[in-house]
Amino acid sequence: MQTGVLKYENNTLQVNRLGQGKQLLFAFHDFGQHAEVFAPLERALGHRYTIIAIEIPGLGHSIWQQKQVDKLALVTIIERFKLEFKVEKFDLLALGFGALYALSLMEQRSEWIEKVVLFAPDGLRRSSWQSLATRHFYAKGRIKAAIAQPEKAAQKLKGIRNWGILKKEWTAPLDDYIKNDTVRSSWNQVYPLHYKLVPEIQKVRWNVKKNKIELHMYCPEHALVLKKDALKFAKKQDFTVVNLLPEADFENIPGLLNLSEAIFNPRQ
């Protein structure tokens, strides 16, 4: 593994390069992880791919000075590697929050992409508990009140729950956000930095179909909202496959990477 930095305007990204293959694979990690999470793939895929694992700003060692990471910045950064490696197409792998990067690229430059693997992807809908907590004009006020009086959180959130703004599936992560200062501080930094990457999903769907992108999505079988969004995305899509796994499987990162290896390096 080689570790280096990439400069974009006044921003500094830490980048890990794994393997020496001629094909190019970009890997985007989840919240609470670093780019090193993809290190096991070097042995498995390094003969076929050079893997570019970027430390996501706000989550790791990269430093992003601007207010947001926007789509133009993402495309420009990825294009640098595309030109350096002289490839027409590349593949994408993303865990959780990192799927925002993959989906945004599928929206903006789908003609560059051949194969994509997403695990529990964020970004399949514009609304999320993160946007609810940090950007929703009404909900963020209620959530702020719950933070001030966590013992009354259920009462403070009753309105947005009754109105259907707060999905049942979002209750657990939002409860952590309200009661855990560290979690709250991290998300207050990370989500506002990335919300401009949230894609127009209908455009992503069209691009997948038009460019025949091979897309594999893995979702927790009991994550009802995510499962619904993934199955809706895959409807009438010939090149998209949705796989449902037990929740516990998503805690086993080596196991997830093994699943991706089977897709990126299929045995003949």
Q: Report the pLDDT value the prediction gives residue 166, as an integer from 0 to 100.
A: 75
CB atoms within 10 A of CB 83: 9
CB atoms within 10 A of CB 246: 11
Where do the structural domains in the chain lie, given as residue ranges?
Answer: 2-126+198-264, 129-193
Q: How far apart are the first and last CA of the chain?
A: 27
Q: Report the pLDDT value the prediction gives residue 237, as an integer from 0 to 100.
A: 93
Q: Report the pLDDT value the prediction gives residue 127, as an integer from 0 to 100.
A: 63
Q: What angle separates helix 181-194 from helix 171-179, to the nearest 10 degrees?
A: 110
Residue 137 DSSP one-character state = T
What 158-163 contacts at long range (C-beta under 8 Å, 24+ apart), as own/partner pairs, is 160/132
Closest CA to 98 of 115, 119, 79, 114: 119
Mean predicted confidence (pLDDT) in 212-240: 93
- Residue 135: band (very low, low, confident or very high) from pLDDT cuts 50, 70, 90: low
Residue 184 identity (one-letter amino acid): R
- Residue 205: band (very low, low, confident or very high) from pLDDT cuts 50, 70, 90: very high
> How is residue 248 written in tokens?
């516990």
Kindly report the average pLDDT of the chain as a whole number. Answer: 89
> How is residue 98 written in tokens?
């990192």
CA–CA separation, 117 and 132 (whole Å): 27
Q: Is it the case that residue 47 has pLDDT exceeding 80? A: yes
Torsion sign over Cα 26, 107, 211, 261: positive
Report the range of poorest mean pLDDT among 136-140, 168-172, 191-195, 260-264.
136-140
The CATH code that applies to domain 2-126+198-264 is 3.40.50.1820
The answer to whether 29 and 37 are in contact (CB under 8 A) is yes
Say whether pTM exceeds 0.85: yes
> How is residue 162 written in tokens?
């009754």
Distances (CA, A) of 104 to 25, 155, 214: 16, 37, 16
> How is residue 66 written in tokens?
């601007």
Mean predicted confidence (pLDDT) in 229-253: 95
Q: Report the pLDDT value the prediction gives residue 157, as an integer from 0 to 100.
A: 76
Pairing of strands 2-8, 23-28: unpaired
Helix, strand, or coil (residue 117):
strand
In this predicted model, what pLDDT tens digit does every residue of 67-101 receive, in sequence order? Answer: 889 999 999 999 999 999 999 999 999 999 999 99
